[in-house]
A = this chain, B = another copy of it.
Amino acid sequence: MSDDHEYEPPRREEFSHDPIDHAEVRGGMTVGELAAEYGNAGIGAAKVHEAVDIYAEMLDPDVTCFLSLAGAMVPAGMRRVVSDLVRDGYVDALVTTGANLTHDAIEAIGGKHHHGRVGPNEARHGTPRSDSSDSSDGSHEREGMTPREFDEALRDEEVDRIYNVYLPQEHFALFESHLRSEVFPPLEGDGAVSIARLTRELGRANAEVNEREGVAEDPGIAAAAYECDVPVYCPAVQDSVLGLQAWMYSQTSAFTLDALQDMTPLTDLAFEAETAGCLLVGGGVPKNFTLQTMLVTPGAYDYAVQITMDPDATGGLSGATLDEARSWGKLEKDARNATVVGDATILLPLLVAAARERVE
């Protein structure tokens, strides 16, 4: 340290106040109580506690709340958590992937994802491994297969695998029919339409099918967004089965999608927000698209909570710290922000349950 730089040493109190009291858990405690106990702990637990605190503030009606949703969140069973947030007014704009919208629609028209295995050696969901010779559910045929044969069998059976989740491919054919009969036709003839208009038509159609036929317990994320007038942005829509279907439809009809239009209403929303917050679930395009809108508005996010397990050391945006975002002016200098490192399928329900317990 150079001689000409003087500083007052930190007063000793700084290092001896605020003791760690140690988390205490008991059977029957609520999720909010668990989050409070995390506040008595350090490392990641302390970050969950802080994230709950910040997210609960973001749920205030005066905060404009952007939700960025990347990763296989719908196949992984997070659909209801998100659609409930939309329905309860906790989301002002949703930025997500074409994949999540594809899988959301598949369930809206009656399809189902299924608990599966990463490979044939995985124990069946909810079943002791030692019972796997029991043939009552047909699973013993797995025995004697390599994972490669297993994946080949999945292909022969027309079942796609997403980590430990299965989706029979027939649902893609039903999804195609849904799009071609209910979603795409109203979009024809207007030149290049915005992607948010496509996602809105998708939400409307998902909702209508359900009102008409009642096939799903929950009409889903896009339907909730449609009903609550929440825009759904999907910048990389072509990178999904929804996008592939849109492209195939565009080959034989007066229909295509405009890649740029949505930036106007999204920027307007950011511009008009008195106080803005974002919950970033995963990284990818949704994360950056949510953050970068602040590059063309005078303000920036006042609150930001991020759930990710991607490493920051690669320099990729998905795992980048929120402090780096501050250097670009995406977060206010005095924004409250927290990053929780972990699996979003575990942490998102925990965060939402704890924040809801706080504010409801």
Contacts and interface: CB of A to CB of B under 8 A. Distances in A.
Interface in A304-350: 309-320, 323-324, 326-329, 333-337, 340-347, 349-350
Interface stretch (A69-77, A203-211, A268-276): A69-77
Interface in A115-157: 115-116, 119-121, 123-126, 128-130, 133, 135, 137-149, 151-157
Contact of A19 (B21, B114, B164): B114
A311 B112 CA distance: 26
Given A257-B259, A317-B72, A342-B343, A129 B334 contact: yes
A349 B324 CA distance: 26
Interface residues of A, number: 179
With most chain B CB atoms within 10 A of its CB, the pick from A121, A139, A288 is A121
A84 B37 CA distance: 15
Contacts of A125: 18, 39, 46, 50
Interface in A221-255: 235-241, 243-244, 246-248, 250-251
A204 to B, nearest CB: 20
Given A80-B22, A126-B39, A282-B316, A138 B13 contact: yes
B258 A257 contact: yes
B121 A148 contact: yes
Number of copies: 4
A360 to B, nearest CB: 4
A230 to B, nearest CB: 19
Contact of A247 (B5, B78, B260, B284): B260
B285 A263 contact: no
Contacts of A79: 22
Interface string A55-98: 00000000000000011100111111100100000000000000
Which one of A239, A244, A315, A350 has the highest number of Cβ atoms from chain B below 10 Å of its Cβ?
A: A315
A310 B41 CA distance: 21
A349 B99 CA distance: 32
A218 interface: yes
Contacts of A349: 23, 25, 34, 37-38, 41, 45
A292 B244 contact: yes
A129 B225 CA distance: 33
A44 B296 CA distance: 31
A192 interface: yes
Given A14-B141, A23-B80, A44-B313, 11 more contacts: A10-B142, A14-B137, A15-B166, A29-B31, A37-B349, A39-B126, A42-B72, A45-B343, A129-B336, A155-B333, A244-B263
15 contacts: A7-B153, A9-B141, A15-B157, A19-B112, A21-B77, A23-B77, A27-B356, A31-B31, A42-B75, A121-B147, A128-B334, A162-B324, A235-B236, A239-B288, A346-B347
